[in-house]
Chains A and B, each alone.
Chain A
Amino acid sequence: MRDVFSLYSKKVMEHFKNPRNVGEMENPDGIGHVGNPICGDIMELYIKVKNEIIVDAKFKTYGCGAAIATSSMVTELVKGKTVDEALKISNRAVAEALGGLPPVKLHCSLLAEEALKSAIDDYFKKQGAKR
């Protein structure tokens, strides 16, 4: 039974209402920047990595309810994971963790996956530069 009629699942609305890990990060080890204003979604994801483990993640997102909720969820999912483990997080996993997304909104979860990959790429590049 649904007490409130809503486009999204309870979990999505909960993350939309109280997004986790919003904000910028000082001296991040990796930054992911994906999306564009033309399709209405832009996501910035920051990660802090210690000994190959993602110890903190933050985001800033311009976009719809699904974009904000998936951003919030992906930051929750990556924290505590190794970089390699994090690379395996798929858009489907993010959507599932949110109790599903309406079919027309699945592309938003793809954005979250891409933001994460882009942030990790950036981390690898920075690591390479240090070496």
Chain B
Amino acid sequence: MKRIYLDYAATTPTAPEVVEAMLPYFTDRFGNPSSIHSFGQEGKAAIEEAREKIANLIGAKQEEIIFTSGGTESNNSALKGVAYANQHKGNHIITTPLEHHAIIEPCNFLEKSGFKVTYLPVDKDGLLNPEEVKKAITTKTILISAMHANNEIGTIEPIAEIGRIARERDIYFHTDAVQTFGHLPINVDELNVNLLSISAHKLCGPKGMGALYVKKGTRMVSFMHGGEQERRRRASTENVPGIVGFGKAVEIAEEKMEEEAKELTILRDKLIKGIFEKIDHVCLNGHPTKRLPNNINVSIEFVEGESMLLNLDMEGIAASTGSACSSSSLEPSHVLLSLGLSPELAHGSLRFTLGRYTKEEEIDYVLEILPKIVDKLRSMSPLYKKAS
């Protein structure tokens, strides 16, 4: 059976060019970059080359990029690192209810060790209002963290404006740019950020690889201790093949980003329009235009997300849902609930995220299959009877 992958926000296939670039660093060029011999220096040079590519793409200096094991580590490192290094100035952190668990859970952790966390309100499309940031700031505020674009609903946030507010008040500002890096243009100065998290596997790079941009002069404590690597900011022998792969993925993204965003926006809008034409009782989650070019998130009434996913999977289509039943907790997605969606609608959510290798025929196929699945599930749903 042909398989159609429409879950690029979860992860992407590693580009063949990326794999090819990585391979020599597993075998011939295996040296430890901390070693002074040629094997080591060869690895070190490869790391610095990748670092330069990443720094260039976001308008940063090379020494402002710290390689990490992924977006989760970057986020943990940013939040805990800044919180602990600046607790003499205050104990208040501001963030949003839209954040990934890799932000929410470090915040919960910090709350247990004496920090206070404020969650900003969001509107029905998941958009933040910079005015609310001003209101939330206190004399104790040391850090604001707001994601660049949301992984579930695709809403793109006014990060530059929030950053300006933080900068004017001398408060550190972090953004989780895992979903936008390599897909939308990013300039750290324009966004007014002190810290920015990115991940390789969301842009056809390898898993287990990420980076954190840390603006020069930012006070933070190291997340990992045990070596001189990354200017003592992140100990551990560098993942050289991963870093090389990340660099290659960034190089390709830089070249293709603009065109890909245009193409994906067309496919995205075609899929949204098609779903609305072919299925009744549907709503779009997330902002209609301030939206990632590859994100479609809809709630389909009277049916539950996981059963839609399983049916799609049986037809070879891979998608995602914010329904509780797909996870170990029974709570549906905290992001969807924060928009004010009812639990029923959150359970009926379906996310398709497109990417580099998505073809128009695949969108057509989804539009042919999905309405049949919804019909089948609605015919066995006790909620549908009551609504019709």
Please report A residues at the B interface, Cβ cutoff 8 Å.
Answer: 6-8, 13, 16-17, 19, 22-24, 33, 37-44, 59-68, 104-105, 107-108
Contact = CB atoms under 8 A, between A and B. Distances in A.
B324 interface: yes
A66 B310 CA distance: 11
Contact of A39 (B302, B307, B330): B330
Contacts of B326: 64
A64 B383 contact: no
User: Sorted from nearest, which 9 A-B pairs have the closest CB atoms?
Assistant: A64-B325, A64-B306, A37-B344, A60-B382, A40-B347, A62-B381, A38-B343, A104-B328, A44-B382
Nearest to B379: A22
Interface in B331-350: 332, 342-344, 347
Given A62-B302, A104-B328, A37 B383 contact: yes
Contacts of B369: none
A108 to B, nearest CB: 8
A64 B307 contact: yes
Interface string B375-388: 00001111111000
A24 B379 CA distance: 10
Contact of B310 (A42, A62, A65): A65
B304 interface: yes
Contacts of A39: 324, 330, 343
Q: How large is the interface on B (under 10, 10 to 19, 20 to 34, 35 or more residues)?
A: 20 to 34
Nearest to B345: A37
A42 B306 contact: no
Given A41-B325, A63-B325, A68 B347 contact: no
Contacts of B302: 62
B380 A22 contact: yes
A48 to B, nearest CB: 18
Contacts of A6: 313
Contacts of B305: 64
Contact of B330 (A24, A40, A44): A40
B385 A24 contact: yes
Nearest to A61: B380
Given A16-B310, A65-B310, A104-B328, 13 more contacts: A24-B385, A33-B382, A37-B342, A38-B344, A40-B323, A41-B325, A60-B385, A61-B380, A62-B302, A62-B304, A67-B304, A68-B307, A104-B327
B224 interface: no
B314 interface: yes
Contact of B307 (A16, A42, A44, A107): A16
A42 B382 contact: yes
Contact of A42 (B324, B325, B383): B383
Given A16-B310, A104-B328, A40 B381 contact: no
